[in-house]
Amino acid sequence: MDAGHFTYILASKYRGALFVGVAGDLEHCVREHRLNQVDGLTSLYAIHRLVYYEYFDAAGPALLRECDIKRLPRCEKLRLIDSVNPAWRDLYDEIEPVELTPA
């Protein structure tokens, strides 16, 4: 059984540096970024604010969505975030646990 996956965007601040990723466990993944346990851009530029995420039932669609978002020009990524989170609030504490039903 394939567990659900998330496509997400982290930001350093309002309209700051962005990072687009995919994760099976969004809460754990974002926590690792916040604790700078992930080497790279997120730790270098303090990209820790979860500003956007989408849930998918399987990894494939989440990975495709990640690629689609990464291909967008920056202005379109900003528009995407603004459409669901205009204040660019940190959504980390609002992550809803996903209930997996047995197969």
Can you give the residue range of the structural domain that contains 36? 5-94
User: Is residue 67 in some structural domain?
Assistant: yes
User: Is residue 100 in some structural domain?
Assistant: no
User: Is residue 12 in some structural domain?
Assistant: yes
Contact between residue 58 and residue 4 where contact means Cβ atoms under 8 Å apart: yes
* Residue 96, pLDDT above cutoff 80: no
pLDDT given for residue 39 in this prediction? 84
Tell the burial category of 47 from Cβ atoms under 10 Å away from its Cβ (0-12, 13-18, 19+).
buried
User: Is residue 101 in some structural domain?
Assistant: no
DSSP state of 100: P
pLDDT given for residue 102 in this prediction? 47
Q: Which residues pair with 7 in a beta bridge?
A: 22, 54
pLDDT category, 4, cuts 50, 70, 90?
A: confident
pLDDT category, 101, cuts 50, 70, 90?
A: very low
User: Is residue 103 in some structural domain?
Assistant: no
pLDDT digits (tens, 9 = 90+) for 14-68: 999 999 999 999 999 999 999 988 888 888 899 999 999 999 999 999 999 999 9
Residue 7 one-letter amino acid: T
Q: Where are the alpha helices (DSSP H) in the chain?
A: 26-34, 41-44, 59-71, 74-84
Domain count for the chain: 1
pTM of the model: 0.89
Question: Is residue 2 left, alpha or beta, with left meaning phi > 0 and alpha meaning psi from -120 to 50?
Answer: beta
CATH code of the domain containing 35: 3.40.1440
User: Is residue 74 in some structural domain?
Assistant: yes
pLDDT given for residue 12 in this prediction? 96
pLDDT digits (tens, 9 = 90+) for 12-27: 999 999 999 999 999 9
